[in-house]
Amino acid sequence: MNLKNALSSCPAGLTRVGTSGYSYPEWSDAGFYPPGTPAREMLAIYARRFPITELNYTWYHMPKAAAMERMLPLLPPGFSVAAKLTRTMTHEIDPHAWRGQAAQYREGIAPLIQAQRLVALLVQLPPAFERSDSNRRYLALLLDELTGLPLAVEFRHRSWAVDRVFAELERRLITLVTVDVPDLPYLFPSLEVVTNPDLFYVRFHGRNARGWRSGNMQKQFDYLYSAAELHQWSQVFIPKLTTQAHSGIMIFNNHVRAQAPRNAQMLSSLMR
């Protein structure tokens, strides 16, 4: 199966809710996994509760085709995957190596595409990545290198929230990631902008403003959404997004103490 056919065969017309990552030892302590669950068994348990996951480890390490092949038998029918682009192309950029890394990433993720499991490749940019001329040029070149993959771009800096950026993403059929973040002046705002009619993508990071300022990732994502906060998403924001795209995914990144799966289950219930 060629790449175009593999991508077009991914499930459409669905709104799927899941979490960023699934292999957290603390989730056993918090009751999501049975006590003592080994990491190798977590994906199978997770996939019985959610229809999608966002691969978090591909941000830390370059994906390898062999590892993707080993993961596929653990996925039940209809289960989808989003994957983060590796940090050496978004956060720790080597100007002399990133093109080769883009090709390597494409090769490593290929089994998920061929198996019709990959619905999005997340290009997650850091808050320090402002809309400068050099950063604009780099992002355009990076997206060119990844052409043909189901790309989604998450901006963290507010300077990218301009119509010209949205128009370029729309021209490229690239998904603009909708974010739920603390109300801090430099962060990219929550917007109801859809740039790809095939997919909208929401990432819930929590609203812990003090944690974001701390620079500590464990504190940054330590937040439990209330039912009222998620009710607003399920009844107001998500319906607006669904009218603009054929399918959507919503990912919770507030992983501390298994708050992400709790909130994912809560949002799923509210949407039903």
Residue 189: give its domain's CATH number: 3.20.20.410
* Residue span of the structural domain in which 211 resides: 3-271
What's the pLDDT score for residue 101?
A: 96
Cβ(11)–Cβ(118) under 8 Å?
A: no
What's the pLDDT score for residue 14?
A: 85
Give Cβ neighbours of residue 272 (< 8 Å, ≥ 6 apart): none
Give Cβ neighbours of residue 59 (< 8 Å, ≥ 6 apart): 84, 85, 86, 87, 124
Task: Choose among 18, 14, 103: nearest CA to 52.
Answer: 18
Q: What is the rounded distance in angstroms from the CA atom of residue 50 to the CA atom of residue 33? A: 13
Hey, which residues does 247 pair with through a beta bridge?
A: 199
What's the pLDDT score for residue 13?
A: 57
What's the pLDDT score for residue 2?
A: 39
pTM: 0.93
Positions of the chain with pLDDT under 50: 1-12
Burial profile 49-59: b = 16 or more Cβ within 10 angstroms, e = fewer: ebbbbbbbebb
What's the pLDDT score for residue 79?
A: 96
What's the pLDDT score for residue 141?
A: 97
Backbone angles phi, psi at 15, to 5 degrees: -120, 110
Cβ(82)–Cβ(249) under 8 Å?
A: yes
Number of domains in the chain: 1
